[in-house]
Chain A
Amino acid sequence: MSKLPDPWQAGLAAGWQVTDASRLAQDLQLECDVAIVGTGAGGGMAAELLAQAGLRVVMLEEGALHSSGSFRLNEAEAYPQLYQESANRQTADKGITILQGRTVGGSTTVNWTSSFRTPAGTLGWWRRAHGLQNMSEESMQPWFERAEARLGIAPWETDPNANNAVLARGCEALGLSHGRMRRNVRGCWNLGYCGTGCATNAKQSMLVTTIPAALQAGARLLTRVRVQRLLLAGDRVKGVLAEALQADGVRASGRRVTVKARQVVLSAGAIGTPAILLRSRAPDPYRQLGKRTFLHPVVLSGALFPQRIEGYYGAPQSVYSDHFMHVGAIDGPLGYKLEVPPIHPLIMAATLPGNGAVHQRLMRQMPHLNVTLALLRDGFHPESVGGQVRLRDDGSPLLDYPLGAVEWEAARRALLSMAELQFAAGARAVLPVHEDAGLARSWREARQMIAALPMQIMRTRVVSAHVMGGAAMAADERRGVVDGDGRHWQLRNLTVIDGSLFPTSIGANPQLSVYGFALRQAEALRQRMA
C-alpha cells in the first residue's frame, strides 16, 4: 500500500456500491434503468451523466478495481493487473501488439494523458465521405469544452522531459512544425509512470473522476465480470448476461450475473464492443460489424545520445509534430503523427529487436535512449480498410489486421523521417526498431539501411495503443452499426458509447474524442429516456 491518499478507500467506507464478482457465492440478478458495459473513457463519461440525471445505473467491468494505493510504478505488476492480455494482446497474425486497459477506468487508468480534440480534417472527412453531416467542429465544441473542464485538460506548462525534447529539437533543426500537448492532469508530479497507474491521482482518468461521481450519485459497479452477450427479444435488448471471473481474472468462476435494463450501453471499447455484439448474434444485415477496426499502427525508432535521456522520468508525452499528417491529401499515402513513448525496462526489453549480448548492450544504454514513434493515420486511404474483429472458438475476440502495401510504404517513410530527425537532434546512433536493422552512425547510413529493410510482420515492430472502430457510426443503416447518436440501427434500446463507433481512425490520440462523443451521445440517451 502506498502512503499517498487513495480516494477509493474513503468512498468504499462511505458505502459506494461496489461488488467484486469473483467473490460471489451464487448467481446474481439485478434490474436497473441503464446497464453500462465497460468503465473506460466512454463508459465512465456515460455513467456520470446518467447517474447524476437520477437514473439507476449498473456498470459492469471485466477488469478488477485497482486504485492508487496499489499503484507501485512496477510494470511486472501493472501489466497483468491493468491491461488486456497483460499488455500483450496481438492481432491474429501476431504482426501488431496492442495495448488496451482492462481495469476500472479502462484504458484511461493507464493512458499517457495526451489530449487532442478530433482534428477538423477528420470531422470534415466524416461529413464528406461518410455522410455524417452534423459532425463538425462547431457542433462538437460544447462537448469538448465540457470534457476538458471536467478532466482538467489544459496546456502542460512544465518543460518537456529529455525524451520529448529530442522531438522538439529535431523538428526545430529540420524546420518541421511541432507543438506542445495538453494533458488531463491536476497537480501532476511529473513522474512519468502514467502507464502503470497514477499513484498520485493527478491523472484525471475515469478511475478518479466520473466513476467515483457516478457511485456517489448511487450507481452500482460490478468488477471482474465479463459480459458474454445481450439478452435479445426481437428488436429490443432486455439486458445483459455476464460471467463472473475468478480472482485471477483469467478463468470464469461459474457464477452468472444477469442485469435487466431499460437501456443497454456498450462501452467495452473497440474490439470489446464488437465482440459482445458478435457473441450475441446481434442483427448485422449489412455485414458491417467488427469491420474497419483501426489502430493507428505505430512504428518506432530508437536513438542513442551522448547525454542522459532517462525517458522513464517526466510526463511521458508533451511534444508532437503533425508535419507529416499534412504533406499529402487525407486519403492519399498515409500521413503520420510523431510523438515519443515513455521508456520503461520491461516494455523496452520486449520491444527492442535482437537478442543475446547485442540486446543486453542496448538495454545497458537505456538511460541514453530516446525512442520516437510515428502513428499512421489509417482508414482514409481507399486501401486502408483496417482490421476485422472475429471470435475464437472460446468466444474471446481476435482482431485480424493484415498490414498491406499502403501501411508498409508509410512505415518505411516514417522510419526515414524519424531517423533524420533524431540525427538532427544530436543522436550518436539511430536504431530503427526492426529485426534486420543495426545501429546507424549517420543519417546517410540510416537512409541506406532503411531503404533496404524488408517490411514484414515480425521483422518490423508494429504496436498500437489506439484501438478505434468496428461498430461505426453511419448516416444510414447500410454503412455502419450505429447512428450518429450511437444508437444501434437494428436494436433500438442499445447504444454504443466508446471508441468503437469512429468510422475511421481519429488521426490524433483518441481519448478526448471518446470523451466528447460520449457526452454528446449520453446526453441524447438521457433525453430519450426522459
Chain B
Amino acid sequence: MTLSRRQLLQTGLLGGLTLALAGRLAEVPAAPGFAANVADRQLIMALAPGMLGPLPAGGAAQVAGNVLKAIDGLPLAVQAELRQLFDLLHNPLARRLLAGVAAPWPEAGEQAINAFLQRWRYSRFSLLRSAYQALHCLLGAGWYGAAASWPAIDYRLPAMMKGLL
C-alpha cells in the first residue's frame, strides 16, 4: 500500500489532520529498509490474537519474530511501504481516527482490535483494505509457516521423508 499523500487525501476521511500527517510521512527520508523497532514487535503481538484467534503461550511473540524476519527478506520498495503502514499505525492520531483504537496498541482491548480489523477489512477505501490484507498475509504466514502451529491443524510432513531431510 503506497500511502502517498494523494491516496490519503482520496480517502477523504480526515481533512486537515490527514494533510498534516501526510506532510509528516512525506518528510521521512526513504529508509533503505524496514528497520524494525520495538513498537513494531508490540504492534504485531497486539494484533496476533485478533487476526489468528487464541494462540498458545509464546505464540504471539513467535509470530512477531517471524513476521519481522519475513519483512526483512522483501524487496526494499515493499519494505518501505510496510514501514509507512507501521508508522501510520504507530501515530496516535491515526490510530485513533483511522483505526478507531483509543488505547496504545499493547493496552488495546480485544474488542477494539477486532473492530479495527473488521473496519479495515471491509473498508470502502481500497487503501485500507490493502493494509488489512497485508497484515492478514504477514501474520497468517508468520504463524502457520511455523512448525509450532502444525499439531493444532493436524498437519505433518510426509512420513516417507522421515529421516531423509
Contact mask A136-172 → B, CB, 8 Å, 1/0?
A: 0000000000000000000000000000000000000
Q: For the complex, is B54 an interface residue (Cβ under 8 Å from A)?
A: yes
Given known A-B contacts A350-B137, A356-B50, A85 and B74 have beta carbons under 8 A apart? yes
Q: In the assembly, what is the distance between CA of A214 and CA of B131, in Å? A: 45
Pair A350/B75 contact, Cβ less than 8 Å: no
Kindly identify, within residues 139 to 165 of chain B, every residue whose CB is under 8 Å from any CB belonging to chain A: 140-141, 143-146, 149-150, 152-155, 157-158, 160-161, 163-165
User: In the complex, what's the smallest C-beta–C-beta distance from B105 to chain A, in angstroms?
Assistant: 16
User: In the complex, what's the smallest C-beta–C-beta distance from A443 to chain B, in angstroms?
Assistant: 26
- Which of A4, A360, A392 makes the CB contact (< 8 A) with B54? A360
Q: In the assembly, what is the distance between CA of A80 and CA of B161, in Å? A: 22
Pair A458/B130 contact, Cβ less than 8 Å: yes
Contact mask A472-516 → B, CB, 8 Å, 1/0?
A: 000000000000000000000000000000000000000000000
Pair A191/B161 contact, Cβ less than 8 Å: yes
Q: In the assembly, what is the distance between CA of A407 and CA of B52, in Å? A: 31
- Name the B residues within 8 Å of A249 (CB-CB): 73
Q: For the complex, is A177 an interface residue (Cβ under 8 Å from B)?
A: no
Pair A459/B129 contact, Cβ less than 8 Å: yes
Q: In the assembly, what is the distance between CA of A407 and CA of B86, in Å? A: 33
Q: For the complex, is A6 an interface residue (Cβ under 8 Å from B)?
A: no
Pair A346/B141 contact, Cβ less than 8 Å: yes
Pair B77/A396 contact, Cβ less than 8 Å: yes
Pair A3/B77 contact, Cβ less than 8 Å: no
Q: In the assembly, what is the distance between CA of A72 and CA of B157, in Å? A: 10
User: In the complex, what's the smallest C-beta–C-beta distance from B114 to chain A, in angstroms?
Assistant: 6
Q: Which residue of A lies closest to B156 (CB)?
A: A312
Kindly identify, within residues 74 to 97 of chain A, every residue whose CB is under 8 Å from any CB belonging to chain B: 75-76, 79-80, 85-86, 88, 93-94
Contact mask B39-59 → A, CB, 8 Å, 1/0?
A: 000000000011111100000
Q: In the assembly, what is the distance between CA of A86 and CA of B132, in Å? A: 19
Pair B76/A250 contact, Cβ less than 8 Å: yes
Q: In the assembly, what is the distance between CA of A192 and CA of B161, in Å? A: 12
Pair B133/A458 contact, Cβ less than 8 Å: yes
Given known A-B contacts A356-B114, A360-B53, A349 and B144 have beta carbons under 8 A apart? yes
Given known A-B contacts A94-B130, A345-B144, A345-B145, A85 and B153 have beta carbons under 8 A apart? no
- Name the A residues within 8 Å of B133 (CB-CB): 94, 458
Kindly identify, within residues 321 to 361 of chain A, every residue whose CB is under 8 Å from any CB belonging to chain B: 345-350, 352, 355-361
**Chain B: interface secondary structure?**
helix
User: In the complex, what's the smallest C-beta–C-beta distance from A333 to chain B, in angstroms?
Assistant: 25
Pair B153/A76 contact, Cβ less than 8 Å: no
- Name the A residues within 8 Å of B78 (CB-CB): 85
Q: For the complex, is A367 an interface residue (Cβ under 8 Å from B)?
A: yes
Pair B51/A80 contact, Cβ less than 8 Å: no
Kindly identify, within residues 25 to 42 of chain B, every residue whose CB is under 8 Å from any CB belonging to chain A: 32-33
Pair A435/B122 contact, Cβ less than 8 Å: yes
Q: In the assembly, what is the distance between CA of A361 and CA of B152, in Å? A: 10
Pair A2/B164 contact, Cβ less than 8 Å: yes
**Chain A: interface secondary structure?**
loop
Pair A350/B140 contact, Cβ less than 8 Å: yes
Q: In the assembly, what is the distance between CA of A303 and CA of B136, in Å? A: 21
Q: Which residue of A lies closest to B144 (CB)?
A: A349
Q: For the complex, is B121 an interface residue (Cβ under 8 Å from A)?
A: yes
Pair A364/B152 contact, Cβ less than 8 Å: yes
Pair A93/B153 contact, Cβ less than 8 Å: no
Given known A-B contacts A2-B164, A355-B51, A346 and B145 have beta carbons under 8 A apart? yes
- Name the A residues within 8 Å of B165 (CB-CB): 2-3, 72-73, 199
- Name the A residues within 8 Å of B33 (CB-CB): 250-251
Q: Which residue of B lies closest to A75 (CB)?
A: B145
Pair B50/A394 contact, Cβ less than 8 Å: no
- Which of A76, A352, A358 makes the CB contact (< 8 A) with B145? A76
Given known A-B contacts A363-B144, A396-B77, A86 and B153 have beta carbons under 8 A apart? no
Pair B121/A366 contact, Cβ less than 8 Å: no
Q: In the assembly, what is the distance between CA of A37 and CA of B12, in Å? A: 45
User: In the complex, what's the smallest C-beta–C-beta distance from A382 to chain B, in angstroms?
Assistant: 26
User: In the complex, what's the smallest C-beta–C-beta distance from B153 to chain A, in angstroms?
Assistant: 5
Q: For the complex, is B10 an interface residue (Cβ under 8 Å from A)?
A: no
Pair B53/A356 contact, Cβ less than 8 Å: yes
Pair A85/B75 contact, Cβ less than 8 Å: yes
Q: For the complex, is A189 an interface residue (Cβ under 8 Å from B)?
A: yes
Pair A312/B155 contact, Cβ less than 8 Å: yes
- Name the A residues within 8 Å of B76 (CB-CB): 250-251, 394, 396
Q: In the assembly, what is the distance between CA of A328 and CA of B17, in Å? A: 52
- Name the B residues within 8 Å of A191 (CB-CB): 158, 160-161
- Name the B residues within 8 Å of A80 (CB-CB): 70, 73
Q: In the assembly, what is the distance between CA of A210 and CA of B53, in Å? A: 46
Q: For the complex, is A18 an interface residue (Cβ under 8 Å from B)?
A: no
Contact mask B56-82 → A, CB, 8 Å, 1/0?
A: 000000000010001011111110000
Pair B145/A86 contact, Cβ less than 8 Å: no
Q: For the complex, is B1 an interface residue (Cβ under 8 Å from A)?
A: yes
- Name the B residues within 8 Å of A312 (CB-CB): 155
Contact mask A458-471 → B, CB, 8 Å, 1/0?
A: 11000000000000
Pair B144/A346 contact, Cβ less than 8 Å: yes
Q: For the complex, is A457 an interface residue (Cβ under 8 Å from B)?
A: yes
User: In the complex, what's the smallest C-beta–C-beta distance from B26 to chain A, in angstroms?
Assistant: 14
- Name the A residues within 8 Å of B149 (CB-CB): 345
Q: In the assembly, what is the distance between CA of A481 and CA of B51, in Å? A: 46
Q: For the complex, is A248 an interface residue (Cβ under 8 Å from B)?
A: yes
Known: A93-B126, A191-B161, A394-B77. 10 other contacts (CB 8 A): A2-B165, A3-B164, A76-B70, A199-B161, A346-B140, A349-B143, A366-B155, A367-B155, A396-B77, A458-B133
Residue contacts A-B, CB under 8 angstroms, 16 given: A3-B165, A86-B74, A88-B137, A94-B130, A94-B133, A189-B160, A199-B164, A250-B33, A312-B155, A345-B144, A345-B155, A356-B49, A357-B53, A359-B52, A366-B155, A367-B155
